[in-house]
């Protein structure tokens, strides 16, 4: 058996905690969210090397993924590990369960030369209004149990527990009037009291893109940082961008509970590059670069002048082609890098590199693609496209997407190829009853990129996806009838 020993002794933890506490402002930085819901996964070691090459020092995981954590060992990167919402009930019910989780996902990795786990996120947006309160009863008991379990292994002072919240947890017409939703007042009071007593920040996810996407009356320039003709005046304060307005709404809500000085971390923030109107490379670069420059300028906000968020975690690092599209078909395109670790646009993270650097040593499948056979009658292709897009990702074909204007045959070819690459270029996966054919000529058209999959030897050759779990009808009929 391997003996896992704490990285710090109980005695040395005190000095470390004091050091960390005294340098929080100096450590404030830009981190990234590393999501793994992809059909074409890069090796975790490749992703960690990508982070190091780009000098990213903070990363947030949505679960305690063993492959990611093992790859992060010895990297020096500070890590936030997530506990999924569906685990909250079991962790809230038993300290045996929380002890086991901490032992398997924290103590195991926090050894000499191991992983520097700074935060554990207990749930992810558990108070989201669309959840109708289903996770609320479990949040505080789970927090208390996990905290107790961390104390047993002498990490309660070093590893901070947080609960990432969606910005819909609070509301107001003006930032200064911000308040948590009435039904959340009691649990938020308990939560922020817990966070305050344990030296933890409040973690919030802010998405100006979603405000713009969901409201046709939302002024577009207010979502960015270049100035606006729709500034919001709130007493003596004037807001020139949605991010500051949202942030100060949270500050006001915390103030109403008596915790107006609580440190705030932005757990998720970003802009998608494809799959919908307004989701494109130009807008994503403008938003993310504007945000980074704004936060790192230390200007702060009207309610917190000179005090920016402790940290921001961009969402996300890589595109995730297996994410649900129920919130919108842009969901699979949040990455600052494409699925294969290639930078989508120039971006200065403020971490030393002036522009993003691509992943190295990516192992691609052979340079071949599956396209519609031009010598066949394609009138019976609809069901084949449904099959392909119910399993693979066709969201770039949607209205506003980068492949929306490539025509009917182009749509067919894109769908066929997406399925073919997902199946690791299995010969039979390009048959489609004789309607498909393999080509060695790249069929990409303009900004519409026909992908070639990556050869991740650590994963199975095919990961089945239940077709009924993806609303393919919304995807297929949206672009199919727009070109037929």
**451-473 residue pLDDT tens:** 999 987 554 333 433 333 333 33
Cβ-contact 178, 248 below 8 angstroms:
yes
CATH of the domain at 52: 3.20.20.80
Q: Is residue 346 part of a domain?
A: no
Q: Which candidate in 27, 63, 70, 125 is catalytic? A: 125
Q: Indicate if 189 and 275 belong to the same structural domain.
A: yes
Q: What is the pLDDT of residue 460?
A: 39
Q: Is residue 339 part of a domain?
A: no
Tell me the whole-structure pTM to 2 decimals.
0.89
Q: What is the pLDDT of residue 28?
A: 63
Q: Indicate if 399 and 294 belong to the same structural domain.
A: no
Q: Indicate if 204 and 60 belong to the same structural domain.
A: yes
Q: What is the pLDDT of residue 137?
A: 98
Cβ-contact 330, 272 below 8 angstroms:
yes
Q: What angle do CA 392, 474, 42 make, to 5 degrees?
A: 25
Q: Indicate if 323 and 378 belong to the same structural domain.
A: no
Report the residue count for the chain. Answer: 484
Q: Indicate if 327 and 277 belong to the same structural domain.
A: yes
Q: Indicate if 448 and 307 belong to the same structural domain.
A: no
Q: Indicate if 28 and 132 belong to the same structural domain.
A: yes
Domain count, the chain: 2
For 192-234, write each residue's pLDDT tens digit.
Answer: 999 999 999 999 999 999 999 999 999 999 999 999 999 999 9
Q: What is the pLDDT of residue 277?
A: 94
Of the three residues 332, 350, 381, the one that is the final residue of a domain is 332
Q: Which candidate in 63, 70, 183, 268 is catalytic? A: 268
Is the backbone peptide bond immediately before 316 cis, with ω within 30 degrees of 0? yes
Q: Indicate if 246 and 381 belong to the same structural domain.
A: no
Residue 226 appears among annotated catalytic residues: no
Residue 268 appears among annotated catalytic residues: yes
Cβ-contact 305, 361 below 8 angstroms:
no
Residue with tokens 């030393």: 352
Residues of the chain with pLDDT under 70: 1-28, 457-484
Sign of CA dihedral 225, 301, 209, 451: positive
Q: Is residue 322 part of a domain?
A: yes
Q: What is the pLDDT of residue 353?
A: 84
Helices in 80-135 by DSSP H: which ranges? 88-93, 95-102
Q: Is residue 57 part of a domain?
A: yes
Q: Indicate if 301 and 379 belong to the same structural domain.
A: no
Q: What angle do CA 271, 451, 357 make, to 5 degrees?
A: 55
CA atoms lying within 13 Å on the CB side of residue 436: 29
Q: Is residue 449 part of a domain?
A: yes
| Domain range for 382 | 369-483
Q: What is the pLDDT of residue 472?
A: 37
Q: What angle do CA 422, 315, 363 make, to 5 degrees?
A: 35
Q: Is residue 309 part of a domain?
A: yes
Q: Indicate if 325 and 374 belong to the same structural domain.
A: no
Q: Indicate if 225 and 308 belong to the same structural domain.
A: yes
**Helix axis angle, 95-102 to 136-152, nearest 10°:** 60
Q: What is the pLDDT of residue 458?
A: 52
Q: What is the pLDDT of residue 29?
A: 86
Q: What is the distance between the alpha carbons of residues 416 and 425, in angstroms, rounded to a whole number?
A: 11
Q: What is the distance between the alpha carbons of residues 231 and 234, in angstroms, rounded to a whole number?
A: 10
Q: Indicate if 300 and 388 belong to the same structural domain.
A: no
Of the three residues 332, 354, 384, the one that is the final residue of a domain is 332
Q: What is the distance between the alpha carbons of residues 28 and 452, in angstroms, rounded to a whole number?
A: 37
Q: Is residue 389 part of a domain?
A: yes
4: DSSP letter: P
Q: Is residue 478 part of a domain?
A: yes
Q: What is the pLDDT of residue 481?
A: 33
Cβ-contact 426, 369 below 8 angstroms:
no
CA distances 317 to 51, 105, 147, 220, 422, Å, are: 9, 22, 29, 24, 21
Of the three residues 305, 332, 359, the one that is the final residue of a domain is 332
Q: What is the pLDDT of residue 3?
A: 32
């Amino acid at each position: 058996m391997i003996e896992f020993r704490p990285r710090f002794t109980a005695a040395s933890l005190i000095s470390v905690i004091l050091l960390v506490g005294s340098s929080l402002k100096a450590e404030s930085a830009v981190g990234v969210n590393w999501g793994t819901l992809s059909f074409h996964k890069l090796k975790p070691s490749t992703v960690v090397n990508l982070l190091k090459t780009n000098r990213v020092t903070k990363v947030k995981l949505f679960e305690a993924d063993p492959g990611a954590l093992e790859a992060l060992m010895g990297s020096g990167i500070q890590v936030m590990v997530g506990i999924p919402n569906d685990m909250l009930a079991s962790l809230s019910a038993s300290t045996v369960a929380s002890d086991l989780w901490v032992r398997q996902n924290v103590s195991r990795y926090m050894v000499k030369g191991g992983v520097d786990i700074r935060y554990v996120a207990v749930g992810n947006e558990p108070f989201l209004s669309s959840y109708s309160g289903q996770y609320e009863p479990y949040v505080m008991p789970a927090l208390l149990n996990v905290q107790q379990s961390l104390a047993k292994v002498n990490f309660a002072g070093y590893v901070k527990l947080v609960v990432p919240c969606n910005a819909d947890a609070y509301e107001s017409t003006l930032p200064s009037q911000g308040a948590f939703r009435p039904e959340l007042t009691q649990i938020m009071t308990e939560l922020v009291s817990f966070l305050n007593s344990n030296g933890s920040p409040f973690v919030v996810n802010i998405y100006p893109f979603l405000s713009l996407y969901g409201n046709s009356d939302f002024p577009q320039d207010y979502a960015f940082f270049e100035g606006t003709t729709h500034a919001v005046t709130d007493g003596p304060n004037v807001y020139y961008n949605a991010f500051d307005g949202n942030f100060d709404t949270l500050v006001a809500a915390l103030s109403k509970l008596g915790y107006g000085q609580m440190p705030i971390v932005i757990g998720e923030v970003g802009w998608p590059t494809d799959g919908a109107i307004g989701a494109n490379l130009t807008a994503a670069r403008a938003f993310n670069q504007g945000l980074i420059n704004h936060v790192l300028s230390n200007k702060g906000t009207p309610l917190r002048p000179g005090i920016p968020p402790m940290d921001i975690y961009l969402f996300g690092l890589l595109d995730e082609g297996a994410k649900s599209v129920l919130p919108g078909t842009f969901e699979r395109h949040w990455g600052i890098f494409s699925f294969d670790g290639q930078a989508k646009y120039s971006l200065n993270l403020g971490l030393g590199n002036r522009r993003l650097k691509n992943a190295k040593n990516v192992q691609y499948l052979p340079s071949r693609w599956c396209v519609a056979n031009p010598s066949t009658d394609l009138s019976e292709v609809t069901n084949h496209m449904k099959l392909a897009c119910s399993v693979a990702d066709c969201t770039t074909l949607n209205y506003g997407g980068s492949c929306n204007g490539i025509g009917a045959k182009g749509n067919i070819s894109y769908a066929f190829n997406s399925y073919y690459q997902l199946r690791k270029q299995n010969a039979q996966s390009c048959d489609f009853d004789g309607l498909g054919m393999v080509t060695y000529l790249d069929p990409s058209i303009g900004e519409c990129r026909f992908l070639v999959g990556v050869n991740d030897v650590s994963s199975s050759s095919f990961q089945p996806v239940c077709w009924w779990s993806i609303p393919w009808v919304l995807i297929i009929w949206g672009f199919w009838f727009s070109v037929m």
